[in-house]
Amino acid sequence: MTNNNRYAAYEKSRIMTASPAELTLMLYEGAIKFCNIAIVAVEKNEIEKAHHNIIKVEDIITEFQATLNHKYPVAKEFDNVYTYLQQRLTEANIKKDKSILEEVLVHLRTMRDTWKEVMRKAGSNPKAHIS
């Protein structure tokens, strides 16, 4: 088994055994990773790569919006934040604007860090890799 195959098997196992809280953390980590890749791609004028990774971030945010539990009042606030981030990502993708992506990245990191704190207070063990 090659190193790539072992890593893929490990990642699949990690995802399949993760709690819902850990999966949420993994999604935040993924969004941060793809946003960073998009920023570098914009810097290098790699338009297709930037587009592809911005879409990945948008897809993760869409997933967050789709899974909001609207029986809690805070869901409306999260929905508003996610809508704003989607709008900024669309604008960043159209303009290939690094500064907008950096703004989105700040929000994603803040949300990820807040989620990690929620997990810590709830007694969850965030096993996901932190970037």
Q: Which tens digit of pLDDT belongs to each residue from 49-96?
A: 999 999 999 999 999 999 999 999 999 999 999 999 999 999 999 999
Share above pLDDT 70 across residues of the chain, in percent, rounded to a whole number? 85
Looking at domain 20-122, which of 1.10.10.60, 3.20.20.210, 1.20.120.340, 2.70.98.20 is its CATH number? 1.20.120.340
Q: Is the pLDDT reported for residue 127 higher than 60?
A: no
The residue ranges of every structural domain in the chain are 20-122
Q: Classify residue 31 as exposed, middle or buried by CB count within 10 Å of its CB (0-12, 13-18, 19+).
A: buried
More confident call, 123 vs 107: 107
CA distance 103 to 59: 18
Identify residue 63 by its one-letter amino acid code: E
Residue 126 pLDDT level (bands cut at 50, 70, 90): low
Burial class (CB in 10 A: 0-12, 13-18, 19+), 35: buried
Q: Please give the model's pTM, rounded to 2 decimal places.
A: 0.84
pLDDT in tens, 20-39: 889 999 999 999 999 999 99
Residue 90 has which token pair? 């669309």
CA dihedral defined by 120, 121, 124, 125, rounded to 10 degrees?
20
